Structure formats: C-alpha cells, structure tokens
Amino acid sequence: MLPPGAAAAAPRTPTSDFNGDGYADLAVGVPDGTVGGKAKAGYVNVVWGGPRSVGAHGSIRVTQATPEVPGTPEAGDRFGASVELTDLNGDGIAELLAGVPGEDVTDRGTDAGMVVVVGGSRNGPGPGSTVLTGPSPAAAYGKSVAAADLTGTADKNKEIVIGGTDKVVARVIQGEDSMVTTVLAAPMGGRAPVLAVGDFDSDGVADLAVAYWTAGNPHTQSHVRLWKWDPDQSAMANFWNTDNAGVTALAAGDFDGDGHDDLALGECREIADENIDDPCGPEERAEGGGIHLHYGAPADGSFGSRAQTLNQDTPGVAGDAEDGDRFGAALAVADINRDGRDDLVAGAPGEAIGSKTKAGAAWLLYGGAKGLLDAGGAARSATWNQDTPGVPGVAEAGDSFGAALATGRYNAGGVPDVTAGSPGENASLGAAWLLPNGSARGSAAFSPRTLDLPYLSTAHKYGKPLSSR
C-alpha cells in the first residue's frame, strides 16, 4: 500500500540505453586501465543490461584505439576519468560522454584535456567526435562531465557541462549552432568540480549544481552554487549559493514527493570559518561524513529554505559515525520502492566492516512525506556490504565498496536496480556489484575478469566512476 498522498511513479524509459534494446546499460570508467601497453591510458566499459540484468549479458570496451573514437591511447591520458551515459538528442539511444583530462592537445599543451562523445547503436559504438578540448596546459578538461537540457528549447538536445582545473564550462546548443560559455572560474584545490543537474527553481527547465572547495590560506573557498540559463544574456546565471560547505558528491531527486527537485550534498563538512553557521547542518551530524539536504519549493525563490541532515548516528541509519567513514562520498537516486518519492543511495567507502578498515558499505535511504527524515528526525534505510548475507564476496580492508554508485532499470522488471563500485577489490583490480531492486537478494558481482576484459596485474580500480539512469 502506498503512503497517503503518494502515487506510484510510472516506469521511466531508460536514457542510458546505448544499444537500443530497451534496457538501461551501465558505463564504468577505468581511467587507470592499461591500453596497448600504455599505463593509465584508460578505457570505458559499457556493460549491457538485459532480461537477466547488467553483468549477465556481456560488455564492450571503448578506448581511444576504438575506430570510432577520436585520439590515440597514450600513457596518462586517463580516458574515462568521468563518464556520462545519456540520450543527448532524444532519439532513444544513448551517447557516451568520456572525459580525458590527461590528453595532450597540439598547440594547447600537456594535459589540456578533452571530452569526447561516442554514439550508441544496435551494432556497437557509432561515430565519435570531440566535444571540447582544454585551452591550455594543465586545463585538464574532462575531470567531470554532466548533460541536461539547460536551455529548455524544443529540440530535445542536451547541453554538455565540463569540469577542468579551476573551471566549469558548458557547450550550449542554439538551433543548429553551439557555443561554449564559462560557468565559473575559481580555485578548486586541484579537485574535479562536482556537477549535478535538476530543476531546482521549479520552472520546468533543468538547472546546474556545482560544488568546489579549497583549503588553506589565503584563498580558502567552499561553495555549492546553482546556475540557470539566462536567454537574454546567453549565459549561465547564478541564482542560489551555500558557502563554507565542502562536498564530495551531489544528487538531485524529489525525496518528499511534492513535485519539486531537492539537492543532496554528500560527505558535507565545514571547510573554514567564514562566519556562516553550520552550512552542512548540525556539526555532530558531520561526524564520519554527513548528508545535507536542501528541499525544493514552488518557483518563489525559496529553494533550500527547508533542510535536513543525517549521518550514521541518525535513528534508522545502521552503523556508527566514525572519522574516515566518508558517508555520502557517492550518491545515486531512484524510486526503489515505487511509492512516487525518490530514494537516495549513499556510499561510505571508508567504512570499517569489523576489523577491516576501509572495506566500505552503501545505504538505501527511503524518501517519505517529509523527505529522508520523518517528523521525529528518523530515517528508514537498508544497508549492504560484502559481509551482508546474499552479497557475494568477503569484506576486506581497502575494498572501498560504495566508492561509486548508479541506478537503472537493467532488466525486464519495472523496479530500478543499484550498482555499487568497489575499486579496491582484488588488490585494486576493482569490481562492481549489482543489487537487484535495491536488495541483496540475487545480487551478483562483475569485474574485468568475469567480463573477459584484458587486464594486467596493475591496479585498474574498476568500479569508479559509474554512470547509468
């Protein structure tokens, strides 16, 4: 029975269907993978969904040696450092976006970076092209990538947002033309800017969320900012900020089922004293990593005025908050229980399982009428790790289970599944776990070995990043 006021959501057409068979597929970035003897040239593994779900129907390996893909594999390119598997033009078949932040670009220098797009098709990868290259040495375009229809035009084309060193830019589609606009340029401490998309101002058009931070004098900065397309200025306009919050992950979803997108800030912690009180909620909820939520509201400028914070000390969340757990370091969203409210999947790759440090775990946090917490401040959740009954494998130190997460309808059912990456598995060869219907029952693991991918004894860290929807 559905909760009062909730309506079962209709199954969504997968937008990560790379081969057009009606099932969501999964993209696994392997930027540390060796290609043609070139260490850390990197590749992307597209794992097929199907009647028996992801991991049971084979996969393909996409590299810069793939004929359709621009460039040549070179040591340190890190192809696949960021991935996005999504339908860019509305034709029902997904395209693959892959970041290559270590790419050397002629006349632009070492590690200028780039992002490439590879078309999907029923017969394997379609034509590929370069989306954008970095303008200068160490620009490292492709550290992060996201896509959404940010302009709200009727052509169904999505804009592509690219994160690099101290910069975020967007390639904007305008009719048959495109333009590149800088979203922001600011010190980001050498980290990849964190990107997410959602309709945060409730105007029916997707917006962009960006998180970035530095630490140390004299230029400590830490921000989460929201941007929307301004057609009059032909540029992205900043319309909401929260400062002093260092964030590792962002995710958008409607966790209270009110029809307005909310924003989850993962592994949120206060970075520096900027005279802003508790940007990540009560300080005690930041222990071990906290998740801070800003809730959406009608288009009246009140986004984020209602907030919630939770961690492993929150009632209803299994475990204990401990330094280094990194609760919320990875986030994914889906309506797992089909009640019309989105649920949040959160990873804690630093979680100790018994005496096994950094073995890692993941949680499914259910949405409700008040969001992820009820009126009494309690959550409803389930948790998994490699010692959970029904989950293959054994929790071992350094596995980092839950370091990356994705959701998608990979099989014939209408309930989304969860995939969790474990890049430290098997001496950092890495692996990923399928949790069908958000449950340990019937779960399975897959890795470069089980998928017959070429691999050496070097650490490939398979399982981070992941992309599906």
The tens digit of pLDDT for each residue in 4-47 reads 444 444 344 568 999 999 999 999 999 999 999 999 999 999 99
* Residue with token string 């997904």: 94
| Mean pLDDT of the region 398-418 | 92
Beta pairing, strands 95-100 & 222-230: unpaired
Which percentage of the chain shows pLDDT scores above 90? 79
Residue 237 has pLDDT above 80, yes or no: yes
Which pLDDT belongs to residue 376?
A: 97
Residue 77 has pLDDT above 90, yes or no: yes
Confidence of residue 124 (pLDDT cuts 50, 70, 90): confident
Q: How many CB atoms lie within 10 A of CB 178?
A: 14
Which pLDDT belongs to residue 284?
A: 82
CA distance 99 to 101: 6
| Mean pLDDT of the region 324-349 | 97
Which pLDDT belongs to residue 100?
A: 98
Among 71-80, 120-129, 174-183, 293-302, which range has the highest average pLDDT?
71-80
Which pLDDT belongs to residue 11?
A: 41
Burial readout 215-249 (b: 16 or more C-beta within 10 A, e: otherwise): eeeeebbbbbbbbbbeeeeeebeeebebbbbbbbb
Which pLDDT belongs to residue 7?
A: 44
Evaluate the omega torsion of the peptide bond into residue 135 and state whether it is cis, within 30 degrees of 0.
Answer: no
200 CB contacts (<8 Å, ≥6 apart)?
Answer: 207, 209, 226, 240, 252, 261, 263, 296, 303
Residue 283 has pLDDT above 70, yes or no: yes
CA distance 32 to 78: 6
| Mean pLDDT of the region 360-371 | 98
| Mean pLDDT of the region 74-94 | 96
| Mean pLDDT of the region 451-465 | 87
Which pLDDT belongs to residue 299?
A: 58
Average pLDDT, the chain: 92
pLDDT tens by residue, 150-208: 998 867 789 999 999 999 999 998 767 789 999 999 999 999 999 999 999 999 999 99
CA dihedral 293, 252, 275, 285 (to 10 degrees): 30
261 CB contacts (<8 Å, ≥6 apart)?
Answer: 198, 199, 200, 202, 252, 253, 254, 296
pLDDT tens by residue, 103-121: 999 999 999 999 999 999 8
Beta-bridge partner residues of 38: 35
| Mean pLDDT of the region 421-430 | 96
* Coil vs helix vs strand at 283: helix
The span from the first CA to the last CA of the chain, in angstroms, equals 26
Confidence of residue 260 (pLDDT cuts 50, 70, 90): very high
How far out from the chain centre does Cα 281 lie?
23
Give the sign of the dihedral formed by CA 269, CA 275, CA 281, CA 287: positive
pLDDT tens by residue, 125-162: 989 999 999 999 999 999 999 999 999 886 778 999 99
In a 13 Å sphere around the CA of 357, the CA atoms on its Cβ side amount to 3
